[in-house]
Structure 1
Amino acid sequence: MSLPQPDSSFEVIGGARDRFLPSLGYLSRPYTPYPYIASNRHVETIFASFFRSPPKVRYRRQCIRTKDDGVVALDWVSGDDRLLPPDSPVLLLLPGLTGGSEASYARHMLVRARNKGWRVVVFNNRGCGSSPVITPQFYSASFLGDLCEVVSHVNALYPDANVYAVGWSLGANLLVRYLGQESHNCPLSGAVALCNPFNLVLTDDNFHKGFNNVYDKAIAKGLRKNFKKHAFLFEDIGGEYNIELAKNAKSIREYDEGLTRVSFGFKSVDEYYSNSSSADSIKHVQTPLLCIQAANDPIAPSRGIPREDIKENPNCLLIVTPKGGHLGWVAGGHAPFGSPWPDPLVIDFLQHLESASAKSGTSWLNPQGDRQSKEASHHLEV
């Protein structure tokens, strides 16, 4: 039987192309951007950020105390502990740089997965989504410690379930770096990365060009606002920290110079960006991974995608849409106010992995069917 072919509007490559393409019938339909809004990548990006309707979700918050005495917040769908069986697949959502469980794109994905009977949880980085900050450390593109503890914790809570993850933007970069770091020992059964910047050096360079300065200033404003709430924790901290620069940063780079690169032990911002990029992680990924990018993304430039490594990795598939902006994808039947275009594709991919696992009684990455079990982090319910 011949392999189904995606519509010519998409770029589809990867070592896992033949393996996963049969499950992605959604790609047989052409990409249909919404008129006017999607005609300009900046209009599409801004429209999706401000005007996409977020579904209503009732959360139950769980705060986890990390090994370094910090706190991250997990938001579960309220009531699912009573409604879902313990072996229901779990989907962990990783929002972007300043995003959390309030993000419309995360809520749309949550509702779609929940309607398929999945248990869903949103990982809020320190200070994001009103997650508490109780120590002088936030989060970064380089730091995987919190994500490792969260995945371990979720696996320990539901040892009979497969755990999957979806990440957007910075969350996608963190997720791919985590998959590469854990490689053969990764306890996730599958993952999806959307609008991954991949190469943070190129991303930083892009922020200083033309209209992209607007995004740089807007994101810096969000970082400043979050930091100022917790600046008292950094009083008299000394060292190379420049707290005033972080509090008044006009760009992401200034914020990272004053705070982030010092917190995580880098000599310069360029060293931080270079060492925190996920492009080099692809070659080490052993978990089924779907990457979805937009060719006209103003923040995660297409030229930063590690296409050759994705082609050579039998676990990876890349789909590039002709338009979409950054976290926009105002296209398809749910446009303009509904869910982003990739959401049905993401769920089809994850459902395919879960169905294959159920039929064989094993995980994709563990043919013996033995689940990785790690000690759960100490946690507090709030």
Structure 2
Amino acid sequence: MAVGSIDPYNDKSSDLCCYHGHKISRTPPIMAIVAPNFNRSLFATPLTLSQSRVRIPATMATPVASTGSTADQFKDHHPSLEVLGGARDSFCPIIKTHLDRPYNPFPVFGSNRHIETIFAAFFREIPDVRLKRECLRTKDDGTVTLDWVSGDARSLPENSPILLLLPGLSGGSQDAYVRHMLIRARNRGWRVVVFNSRGCADSPVTTPQACSTSFKYLMYSASFLGDLDEVVGHVTTRYPKANLYGTGWSMGANILVQYLGKEPGAKRFSGAVSMCNPFNLVMSDEDICKGFSKIYNQSLGKALGGILKKHLPLFEDIGGEYNIQLAANAETIRDYDEGLTRVSFGFNSVDEYLQKSCSADHIKNVQTPLLCIQARNDPIAPDRAIPREDIKMNPNCLLIVTPKGGHLGWVAGESAPLGCPWTDPMVMDFLQHLENEKSGTQQGVNVFQQAVEA
């Protein structure tokens, strides 16, 4: 594979994309519930992304000039955006070109938070990328999977910056928003790896032998950081010369921010981005049980139950307080958490589990440069849950709130409506600037750009 390019798949005949024996649906499961009457024939030919098929020269975030103070240099952001945080004066100049522009949602598709959320989940292009899967056995004999871009182990320098991607609840490397960020980072010369939680993205959970002996944590948990810690340790040990960065969406963002605020391993991250973070899971649970948002609750509950059903034989005789049938046939997220999650992770109730899984409680302790991006009209990650005061007080954090965007939508910007979310160019400029400062040299990036241009 040529340096600076992504190898596309050749199989366009079905709604499944295959890599190394794994088949993953191109269509996010949420739409099977939310919009069952949509005409599937519209997607008989999968959508493609032009930038995944061509070599794109690496670009660099323009460094801030050294004259004058940072605060003096930075002009106020566009009034359509809310921008605050203890790192406002130091981070805003890095992404000034993005903050100067108004947030203009795409007509119709970006006009309503539910339309935008559904449109992005069902209609956004899903780039074709060849991935190489690595199964990582955890300390309790569970399994998580890491999806790397195939060929990067040979083609990228050992010190290439690493971007670890954490998808949302029940999500994985098959999701459009994950792949768009993967493509953008890879075309900057970054090594990218997707962390798929247990059972997600067709990942195995464990072996029957481990399930009957030492297997403890059955599936995901918004409060359990052990798997992420093992992944971080594995990745940094494998590439000790590279700087590590993280980007999380929704529940993945909640887990990432918790990790940054409470775990010693957080020091291994050189920077991070949180998007659509629910922050306060109690508030999120309240909102997702109201009005039209009940659709997302039902969809995600069934998606989690569907993942469990794939591995049901492992858990049929588990006993104890577990209610595997309730979790496998979950109508809501709470059903799944009641039957499985709260028991597996030692909570007395779902409410206790939610209260102790809030990243809002830990963001004040984050010492890693952190960019948080939220949408004010997010139906799953409510605006009222954003810990604004703690973000203001933390000199390492910057918060950007867009007036619209839905949940994992942000159908706006130059690539709208079918391309990458509005957030992606800003996120990559932010991370690239951190890497430039951390590495202290642009030599590696220049070498990569020369290879691409050649």
What is the TM-score of this pair, normalised by structure 2? 0.78
Per-residue deviation, 1:233: 1.3
The total of aligned residue pairs comes to 361
- Distance change (3 Å), C-alpha of 1:219 and 1:185: closer
Per-residue deviation, 1:185: 5.3
Aligned to 2:128: 56
Aligned to 1:23: 94
CA contact (8 A) 1:292 1:319 kept: yes
Within-5 A mapping of 1:1-382? 1=68, 2=72, 3-25=74-96, 26-134=98-206, 135=211, 137-182=218-263, 186-359=267-440
Per-residue deviation, 1:360: 7.7
Aligned equivalents of 2:254 and 2:225: distance in 1?
11
Give the secondary-structure state (helix, strand or coil) at the position aligned to 1:72: strand
CA contact (8 A) 1:183 1:284 kept: no
Amino acid at match of 2:84: I
Per-residue deviation, 1:154: 0.5
CA contact (8 A) 1:167 1:194 kept: yes
CA RMSD in angstroms, aligned pairs only: 1.2
Give the secondary-structure state (helix, strand or coil) at the position aligned to 2:245: strand
Per-residue deviation, 1:183: 5.6
Per-residue deviation, 1:352: 0.8
Pair member with larger Rg: 2
Per-residue deviation, 1:238: 1.5
- Distance change (3 Å), C-alpha of 1:258 and 1:185: closer
CA contact (8 A) 2:377 2:383 kept: yes
Per-residue deviation, 1:5: 2.2
Instruction: State the structure with bigger RCO (CA 8 A, min sep 6), 1 or 2.
Output: 1
Aligned equivalents of 2:287 and 2:101: distance in 1?
32
Give the secondary-structure state (helix, strand or coil) at the position aligned to 2:440: helix
Aligned equivalents of 1:183 and 1:31: distance in 2?
37
Aligned equivalents of 1:200 and 1:38: distance in 2?
25
Amino acid at match of 1:104: A
Amino acid at match of 1:39: S
Give the secondary-structure state (helix, strand or coil) at the position aligned to 1:345: helix
CA contact (8 A) 1:297 1:324 kept: yes
CA contact (8 A) 1:110 1:120 kept: yes
CA contact (8 A) 2:116 2:411 kept: yes
Aligned equivalents of 2:441 and 2:160: distance in 1?
16
- Distance change (3 Å), C-alpha of 1:60 and 1:267: same
Aligned equivalents of 1:68 and 1:4: distance in 2?
51
Aligned equivalents of 1:232 and 1:298: distance in 2?
35
Amino acid at match of 2:80: S
Q: Percent identity?
A: 65
Alpha-carbon displacement from aligned partner over 1:30-51 (angstroms, at most 9, x marks no partner): 1110001111100000000000
Alpha-carbon displacement from aligned partner over 1:142-201 (angstroms, at most 9, x marks no partner): 110000000011100110110000000000000000001126852100000000000000
Structure 1 portions without partners, runs of 5+:
362-382
Amino acid at match of 2:158: P
Amino acid at match of 1:57: V
Amino acid at match of 1:307: R
CA contact (8 A) 2:266 2:368 kept: no
Aligned to 1:371: none
Per-residue deviation, 1:257: 0.4
